[in-house]
Structure 1
Amino acid sequence: MNYYIFTFGCQMNVSDSLWLDQALQALGLKPCSREEEADIFLINTCSVREKPEQKIYSLLGRLYEYTREKPHVFAGVGGCVAQQVGRRFLERFSFVRLVFGTDGLVMVPEAIKRLLKDRHLKTSLLDFQDHYPERKGYQPEKAPVQAFVNIMQGCDNFCAYCIVPYTRGRQKSRSSREILQECAGLVARGCREITLLGQNVNSFGQDKEGRDIPFSELLRSVAALPGLERLRFTTSHPKDIDEEVIQAFGELPALCPHLHLPLQSGSDQVLSSMGRKYNSDDYLRIVEKLRSSCPDISLTTDLIVGFPGETDADFEDTMDIVKKVGFDSSFSFKYSDRPGVRAADMQPKIDDETKTERLARLQQLQSELTRDRLAGRVGRQELVLVEGRSKKQGPPDTVSWTGRDPGGRLVHVHLPVERDCTGEVLRVTIVRAHKHSLSGEVI
């Protein structure tokens, strides 16, 4: 039996899908590269983008066509949209036989086995658990060069615009012992870079009533693993980042000088309405401390425009703080209501024309900042971890490779055709800056 996995959304969904892929192969099922060859479709959904439910309905409508010639084909829908919509997927689409939430993912392989034995069975795995649902380690013999490791699930912050606490549940931290074992196993099998994942990694362990180590200590333990060259983490909430984590950027050689620190808005009034529990001065003080600890740190962020009640002055506050910080890059979005969250009932709503105009201005500013930040890297020497071949190839008799510097910037390098350097760390000189990337020459 062949399967095909669709993955939408965040890095945690990517990590979940990678685990699911390994688990299904351990059952003897085979992944396929073309959806028309699949007997089983699994869709890992995300609620962040606008109208996610309708997009999944559209995809399922298209996949239904494959059942006309292969009636045995069935689908499973998981992730955040599945947690929201639940059994309605089973009722609306006859070939959807499985829905699973984020805590239910661990039970999917056994559920698939039951579904294959009984073609009339439908099942849902939507209950939240009161502890982190630890997963069996289905690990390939050779680990990827870069790997994601989940350290927690869910969130306790309940920001006014955010659906995560309702779709991923309350915060549940993994055991630090399990995390370290997984990381050590990855490094032993060839992994060179690990990214620790969680909705709010800085609050790791706080749900365990002191029975586990704080995030700063977890960072130091993972960074000390012999053979690990690079360590990253995401995502951080500004209200929870502590002095020990900030200091780690200047003290741990393996910890990459890059932090994604969501700002969301530069307006104190909007931040208060969002329930973010920090203000613009708090954020700027964190940035100052980070750059004091690690002067070359690359800072990226998330921004929302058009939150209910955002005035022109509020938006200008956002533009002002973006200029002050000088982010290397940012992800920016127009606010849109999510059913069940506090912001859905907040007034006044901002009209779409205003949100569109503000977003365009913000993204133009960020494009200028990104251009300047990248131009400032030209002439520098960097260590680039090569991820694979570049989509755009260069001169004849060369192959263009793509990797990232410690700050997370994309770097393209031309090398002789006969050399495969995937997974290597190359010392390069940055020779050109592009709109969103750099080009380097091997020293």
Structure 2
Amino acid sequence: MSGNSEVISLGCRLNISESEQIKAMLAGEDDVVVINSCAVTSEAVRQTRQAIRKARKARPEARLMVTGCAADIERDQLAAMPEVDGLVKNTAKLDPRAWNVPLDAPPFVPSRTRAFVTVQNGCDHACTFCVIPQGRGKSRSQTIPQVLEEVEKHLALGAPEIVLTGVDVTSWGHDLSDNPPLGKLVSAVLDRFPDLPRLRMSSLDGIEIDPQLEELFMGEDRLMPHLHLSLQHGHDMMLKRMKRRHLRADAIALVERLKAKRPEIAIGADLIAGFPTEDAAMHSDNLSIIEALDIVHGHVFPYSPRPDTPAARMPQHSRPLIKQRAAELREAVRSRRNAWMQTLVGQPLSVLAERDGTGYAPNFARVEVPQGTAAGTILTITPNELSEGLLR
């Protein structure tokens, strides 16, 4: 950038992708700091406020702007912070007019080692714990030609892996005229770009994985064997009170079908600890789903009430109990993950090198790469030990 603008991204992969586009739009601007915020939990909002204070301390003369979900959901509170100069609505953050920059299309952002391509934004569901629809609006899909065009640009810049991302990726296509399933989009990307080495999916709602996408997960080598489920809980009553659309048995059946055809597929999942009315037996089922699904990439969220959500009006647990249950879930995931990682010792792995001296195998296992390996290189590594969560 010609100026010294900075974009600080918090939260999801979609925010990371959008932050790169904001950077491109602000390339000619001087002394601007943008906080691209998250509001998925109260902890995410706390981290947003902390990032704002830290940025102001580091850049006292900069114009400090806040966008992202918290800029909508916590608008009044953030606007009242003395460090903040202005807010940009989440739905407007990719509009150059919101930043007072020229209306010309912003320059295309050179990809990272993994290029995030946003295929969908917003959410039409009404999970009782979630505020994201308030910050992201209704589900909107990119068309297949739009997605293919962006993928092509990233590949031309040398991106070795494409990640298809969004707020509710499996709802892609529901708002398009022919209501195509997500599997049709994934097939289109793989067919159009036969030389694409690696295609990865971000978090998916398992109950909405269509048969075509399921078949691709089972048999397409270039679609990475890594499925991260928007699961949330392992007990049916909790899932119903969350207003999720699947049951425990649905998730187990999906994973069993996939692993029967592709045993190496690695399962990740989001899990909420201490949801209102969760009793000890329900928490036990939440713990047991980790083993039942062989969850090796777990994101555990201690429940926190979000404004204007039905769950916030349910009987709440104490913070110490929620933290304790979250710790137990994290320990169960850590134990399962370490056992799985140990089985990869001695196996040759195709690893995509990142910039920090590590890289990721197709199953998203983290692997140390030889010193001096250029970011974006795909190389075969046979690790001989597991140390501190890293294959070496």
**Fold match by TM threshold 0.5:** yes
Aligned with 1:111 (options 77, 90, 98):
98
Residue in 1 that maps onto 2:253: 285
Q: Does 1:45 align with 2:33?
A: no
The 8 Å contact of residues 176 and 213 in structure 1, kept in 2 or not, is answered as no
- Distance in 1 (CA, whole Å) between partners of 2:42 and 2:36 is 16
Amino acid corresponding to residue 29 of structure 2 in structure 1: L
Query: What is the RMSD of the two structures over their aligned residues, measured on CA atoms?
Result: 2.3
Larger RCO: 1 or 2 (CA < 8 Å, sep 6+) = 2
Q: Does 1:264 align with 2:253?
A: no
- Distance in 2 (CA, whole Å) between partners of 1:48 and 1:17 is 17
- Distance in 2 (CA, whole Å) between partners of 1:67 and 1:284 is 50
Question: What is the Cα deviation at residue 12 of structure 1?
Answer: 0.8
Residue in 2 that maps onto 1:412: 368
Aligned with 1:139 (options 102, 108, 129):
108
Deviations 1:282-340 (A, max 9, x none): 11001111112321101011111110100111011112221122211201121110001
Aligned with 2:296 (options 309, 318, 328):
328
Q: Does 1:339 align with 2:307?
A: yes
Structure having the higher Rg:
1
Structure-2 change in CA distance of 1:204 and 1:137 (3 Å): farther
Normalising by the residue count of structure 2, what TM-score does the alignment of the two structures yield? Answer: 0.92
Amino acid corresponding to residue 339 of structure 1 in structure 2: P
- Distance in 1 (CA, whole Å) between partners of 2:113 and 2:363 is 17
Question: What is the Cα deviation at residue 50 of structure 1?
Answer: 2.1
- Distance in 2 (CA, whole Å) between partners of 1:62 and 1:218 is 41
Residue in 2 that maps onto 1:364: 331
Aligned length: 388
- Distance in 2 (CA, whole Å) between partners of 1:276 and 1:66 is 42
Question: What is the Cα deviation at residue 365 of structure 1?
Answer: 1.6
Match of 1:256, SS?
coil
Structure-2 change in CA distance of 1:290 and 1:41 (3 Å): same
Match of 1:376, SS?
helix
Question: What is the Cα deviation at residue 363 of structure 1?
Answer: 1.8
Question: What is the Cα deviation at residue 95 of structure 1?
Answer: 6.5
The 8 Å contact of residues 53 and 83 in structure 2, kept in 1 or not, is answered as no
Question: What is the Cα deviation at residue 341 of structure 1?
Answer: 1.1
Question: What is the Cα deviation at residue 436 of structure 1?
Answer: 2.0
- Distance in 1 (CA, whole Å) between partners of 2:76 and 2:325 is 39
The 8 Å contact of residues 87 and 99 in structure 1, kept in 2 or not, is answered as no
> What is the percentage of aligned positions where both structures have the same residue?
28
Superposed, which structure 2 residues align to 1:11-410 within 5 Å? 11-25=13-27, 28-29=28-29, 39-61=31-53, 63-64=55-56, 70=61, 73-86=62-75, 89-90=78-79, 92-93=80-81, 96-107=84-95, 109-113=96-100, 136=105, 138-140=107-109, 143-210=111-178, 213-224=180-191, 225-347=193-315, 349-390=316-357, 402-410=358-366
Residue in 2 that maps onto 1:430: 383
Match of 2:196, SS?
coil
Deviations 1:336-381 (A, max 9, x none): 100011101112x112222222222222221211111001111111
- Distance in 2 (CA, whole Å) between partners of 1:357 and 1:287 is 28
- Distance in 2 (CA, whole Å) between partners of 1:59 and 1:429 is 39
The 8 Å contact of residues 18 and 94 in structure 2, kept in 1 or not, is answered as no
Question: What is the Cα deviation at residue 258 of structure 1?
Answer: 0.3
Of stretches 184-193 and 57-66 in structure 1, the one that deviates more from structure 2 is 57-66
- Distance in 2 (CA, whole Å) between partners of 1:4 and 1:110 is 18
Runs of at least 5 residues in structure 2 that lack an aligned partner in the other structure: none
Structure-2 change in CA distance of 1:54 and 1:369 (3 Å): closer
Match of 2:232, SS?
coil
